[in-house]
A = this chain, B = another copy of it.
Amino acid sequence: MKSEILVDVSRATAKAVGPEHGVTPREVQELEPRISEAHQKLQEERAQGKYGFWDLYKDEQTFASVKETAEAFLSKQIDNLVILGIGGSALGTKALATALKPPFYNLLSRRARKNKPRLFVMDNIDPTTFKAMMRICPPSKTIYNVISKSGETAETMAQLMIIVELIEKKLGKSEMKNHVVVTTNPRGAGAKPSLLHPVADTYSLHEFTVPLNVGGRFSVFSPVGMFPAALLGMDLNAFRQGCHAMDTKCQTPELLENPAYLCAAYQYIADVRKGKRISVMMPYADGLADVADWYRQLWAESLGKRFALDGTEVYAGQTPVKALGVTDQHSQIQLYREGPNDKIITVLEVQRFDVTLRIPNTLEHIPELEYLRNATMNKLLAAELTGTIDALKISQRPVIRIRLPRINEYFVAQLLYMLEVETAMAGRLYNVQTFDQPGVEEGKKIARQLMGADK
Contacts and interface: CB of A to CB of B under 8 A. Distances in A.
A384 B154 CA distance: 9
A36 interface: no
A57 B437 CA distance: 47
- A123, A157, A363, most chain B CB atoms within 10 A: A363
A104 B130 contact: no
How many copies of the shown chain assemble into the complex? 2
Interface in A114-145: 120, 123-133, 136
A454 B370 CA distance: 10
- A102, A317, A383, most chain B CB atoms within 10 A: A383
A359 interface: yes
Contacts of A339: 300, 303-306, 315-317, 319
B161 A329 contact: no
Interface stretch (A68-76, A194-202, A218-226): A194-202
Contacts of A379: 451
A88 B382 CA distance: 22
A353 B128 contact: yes
Interface in A402-451: 437-440, 442-448, 450-451
B337 A442 contact: yes
Contacts of A293: 331
A185 interface: no
Contact of A444 (B90, B129, B319, B387): B387
Contact of A324 (B124, B195, B384): B124
Contacts of A191: none
Contact of A387 (B195, B322, B443): B443
B365 A198 contact: yes
Given A368-B152, A372-B154, A448-B371, A327 B128 contact: no
B104 A133 contact: yes
Contacts of A161: 359-360, 362-363, 369, 372-373
A317 B366 CA distance: 38
A67 interface: no
Contacts of A297: 330-332
A251 interface: no
Interface of A: 86-88, 90-91, 102-104, 106-108, 120, 123-133, 136, 152, 154-155, 157-158, 160-162, 164-165, 168, 195, 198-199, 202, 216, 277-278, 285-287, 293, 296-297, 300-301, 303-306, 315-317, 319, 321-322, 324, 326-327, 329-343, 353-360, 362-363, 365-366, 368-373, 375-384, 386-388, 390-392, 394-395, 437-440, 442-448, 450-454
Given A317-B338, A337-B440, 4 more contacts: A154-B380, A161-B362, A277-B277, A392-B443
